[in-house]
Structure 1
Amino acid sequence: MSNFKHPTTLPLPGGGRLGADETERHLSLMLEGAPLIRLRLERGTELHVHLQEINDRPVGPALWAACYWLFARDPECRRLTWHLTERPGEALLSGLLTPSEYADEYICERTMFWQLPQPWLGESFNGSYPQQMIITDGKRHPRRPMKPRGEVYRRFDARLGAWVSLRTLEIEQDLTRFNRWQNSPRVASFWQEEGSLEQHREYLSNLQREPRVLTLIGCFDDQPFAYFEAYWAKEDRLAPFYDVHNYDRGIHMLVGEEQHRGPHKVASWLSALVHYLFLDDPRTQRVVAEPRADNARMIGHLHNQCFHCEKEFDFPHKRAALMILGRERFFDRCALM
């Protein structure tokens, strides 16, 4: 049985904090202490939500906040059935709600809720970049958008009681810690990128000039703990080894700070990293990884996040396991909160 404790408040990425007065049958939600929305709850095989009063115009943000609160309170809840006397136009257009077969009844599916990019991506989200096919080094692939700078993802993890966020790596800010992490014997045994500050400066500079790779720093409560590389698989050396799609994203992962190791931390940052990549471009249908085939611990963590092992194969430098997670599987089994 889960030892998850229900949140008493939920901070929001853009500022503000949700709080609530909740009973078995009623929910009054507040934003920064001010009344936001009041609901009657009808519990059964599904949760039915009856709107009694709303204190926000436009209505969409208040409905979103209530959906977020209810999904966070119950990680097993898969859908909410809303009863509304007025047609929720904004919520229908965004995909937050879909109409049911009954008048004045609307559905919020957990699998759709977590595919909405806001507020998790903030200002970094620009929608789908126009598709134009180009050829690079003999590989035909879509032209990639300019890489973002700064924070690209932020979400409060109610299980940990901490913010998990991703920002782009900045060489002058992050070089020393990257060098320390790479020279850790634990990390070096898998990455094999030990070296001097200047060697690592060159390594990171080369990646920053490489359109297919985005270098990221993972943070808990804004404290850096990990380094990630997110790459477009179509242009990567991985592409010849499987049936690669135009918008597949691949990941390389490194946890540098010892206090942030452990399965519960991996579940938080790995789901956040995958969530970000699926939100970054809705055309991305798969996230892939290729850890060393003998890295049983990492493969286990990937399995726990619903990746499956497609096969093992031989890179020039290692025997690798091809791990794949599809968009539909990720959101259908979504444990985000």
Structure 2
Amino acid sequence: MNRSKSAINVSPVRIELDPIFHAVEDGVCIDWLVDTQGLHAQLRSSSQRLAELRLQNSETTSELQLLLADSEHTLPFRLLARSLEWLWWQAGTPRQLQLSEALRRLFAVPKGWCDDDGLIDCSDFFQQPLLWYFGDNGGGKPLSWVENDKGLRHPQRRPLPNGLLYQRYLPNLDTVLSFRKLDPALDLDRFCHWMQQSRVAEFWELAKPREELARYLDTVLADAHLQPVVGCFDDEPFGYFELYWALEDRIGPHYDAAPFDRGAHLLVGESRFLGRQYGVAWLNGISHFLFLDDARTMRLVGEPRADNSKLLKYLTMTSWHKVKEFDFPHKRAALVTCERERFFQETEFT
């Protein structure tokens, strides 16, 4: 299922007299506006006013208050969640928001989204899969252990579902970043084109005929520890991400691998999506997806070539960091890692 920006119903507008954020869920719309007292929101269904909210700011915490409610029914919780995401896009919004008791009742805030007093932290909010995750795991599948053909015991890995896996609007780029599972029927020609590019072949060493690359993708799809994914900006494919479970991967013996550590081999195939802004966006995006895809994943890892200076530079602009260099038989590699706690504490989801 692919969704364009218009389908997401997100339209931040930079005109002070008009709504600066507008969203719609289940026939209910919310408009955030600015007045002399700050930010407030109006919720309507057709022409009926349902509720008004106001954001009250302090130095460390903001409180989202319900000013009035003309509805006897609960309002769509997704609408509140999308408002919270937008509030954290705004510069200066504290990382903690207090949701008033009346507001929590009106939107039927699910258990686990905030503490008993209604306090919700930005780092906890972005670990909730509701708005962005379209996979089918989220750490909810039962744990069972199997042994691979090398005698290594590891959790049983389930294949990614077909189609859309992750989608999020990026306000700084005014674009929608998404990831979907690779489909050879749709993506083989594009994959071949990308692999023939000299800047890609330098690192991937897969500038091979179409038939060989088709067999390569068949092998990846058949390997339970590998998951091929295509990244898109506004539904336009830009890159290939070969996700892996680190314990069973070649990187596993080179550090203290945990059962749910995850990583990715990656390439940007479309040159117009090269550069710092896009690079940081997809690095944060694929990291976000991997953490959402299994709540038991506490660490992400990578092993780019040690001389891949551009990628290593982008990593320094994110919550990833370089641990060490080591040798594979085919390359000198850099071990890079990203810890869940650090990612959600440091990442700006803009």
Counterpart-to-counterpart distance in 2, 1:304 and 1:181? 26
For the aligned residue pairs, the C-alpha RMSD in angstroms reads 2.7
For the structure 1 residues 25 and 9, does the alpha-carbon distance in structure 2 shift closer, same or farther, using more than 3 Å as the test? closer
Counterpart secondary structure, 1:91: coil
Q: What is aligned with 1:79?
A: 96
Q: What is the match of residue 235 of structure 2?
A: 222
Aligned pairs, number: 328
Q: Distance in 2 between matches of 1:193 and 1:76?
A: 46
- After superposition, what is the alpha-carbon deviation per residue over 1:122-155, rounded to whole angstroms, capped at 9, x for unaligned? 3645642211111102111000123211110011
- Determine whether 1:142 maps to 2:155: yes
Match of 1:91 in 2: 109
Instruction: Give the drift of 1:290.
Output: 0.6
Contact 1:9 1:20 in 2 (8 A): yes
2: distance between equivalents of 1:180 and 1:58?
Answer: 48
Deviations 1:201-249 (A, max 9, x none): 0110100001111100000000001100110001111100000000000
Q: CA deviation at 1:32?
A: 8.9
1:90 deviates by 4.5
Structure 2 equivalent of residue 203 of structure 1: 216
Q: Specify whether residues 75 and 256 from structure 1 end up closer, same or farther in structure 2 by C-alpha distance, changes over 3 A only.
A: farther
Tell me, yes or no, if the aligned pair for 2:304 and 2:335 is still in contact at 8 Å: yes
**How far, CA to CA, are the matches of 1:230 and 1:12 in structure 2?**
34
The correspondence for 1:235, drawn from 245, 248, 259, is 248
**For residues 17 and 165 of structure 1, what CA distance do their matches in structure 2 show?**
24
Once the 2 structures are TM-superposed, how far is the Cα of residue 20 of structure 1 from its aligned partner?
2.2
Report the AA paired with residue 95 of structure 2: R
Q: Which residue of 2 aligns with 1:171?
A: 184
Matches within 5 A, 1:187-336: 187-336=200-349
Aligned partners of 1:13 and 1:155 also within 8 Å:
no
Give distance in 2, aligned partners of 1:322 and 1:239.
11
TM-score, normalised via structure 1 length: 0.89
- The residue aligned with 1:121 is 133
1:40 pairs with one of 50, 54, 58:
54
State whether residues 250 and 288 of structure 1, in contact with CA within 8 Å, keep that contact through their aligned partners in structure 2: yes
Aligned-pair CA distance for 1:156? 0.6
Listed as ranges, the gaps of 5+ residues in structure 2 are 1-11
8 Å Cα contact 2:220-2:226 kept in structure 1: yes
Residue 77 of structure 2 aligns with which residue? 60
Asked whether 1:49 is paired with 2:64, we answer yes
Equivalent residue of 2:109, what SS?
helix
Q: Distance in 1 between matches of 2:285 and 2:345?
A: 15
From the superposition, tell whether residues 92 and 229 of structure 1 become closer, same or farther in structure 2 (CA, over 3 Å): same
What residue in structure 2 maps to residue 158 of structure 1? 171
- Aligned partners of 2:345, 2:46: CA distance in 1, in Å? 33
Greater mean alpha carbon deviation, residues 22-31 or residues 257-266: 22-31
Provide the TM-score with structure 2 as the length reference. 0.85
Q: Structure 1, residues 184-204: CA drift from partner, whole Å, max 9, x if none?
A: 011111111111111110110
Once the two structures are TM-superposed, the CA of residue 28 in structure 1 deviates from its matched residue by 1.1
Structure 1 residues 259 and 59, CA gap change in structure 2 (3 angstroms): closer
SS in 2 for 1:328: helix
Shift of 1:59: 5.9
* Alpha-carbon spacing, 1:91–1:16, altered in 2? closer, same or farther (3 Å): closer
Distance 1:132 1:120 in 2: 27
- Secondary structure of the 2:290 match is helix
Structure 1 unaligned regions, length at least 5: 101-105
Deviation at 1:305, TM superposition (A): 1.2
Q: Percent identical across equivalent pairs?
A: 34
Amino acid at match of 2:247: K
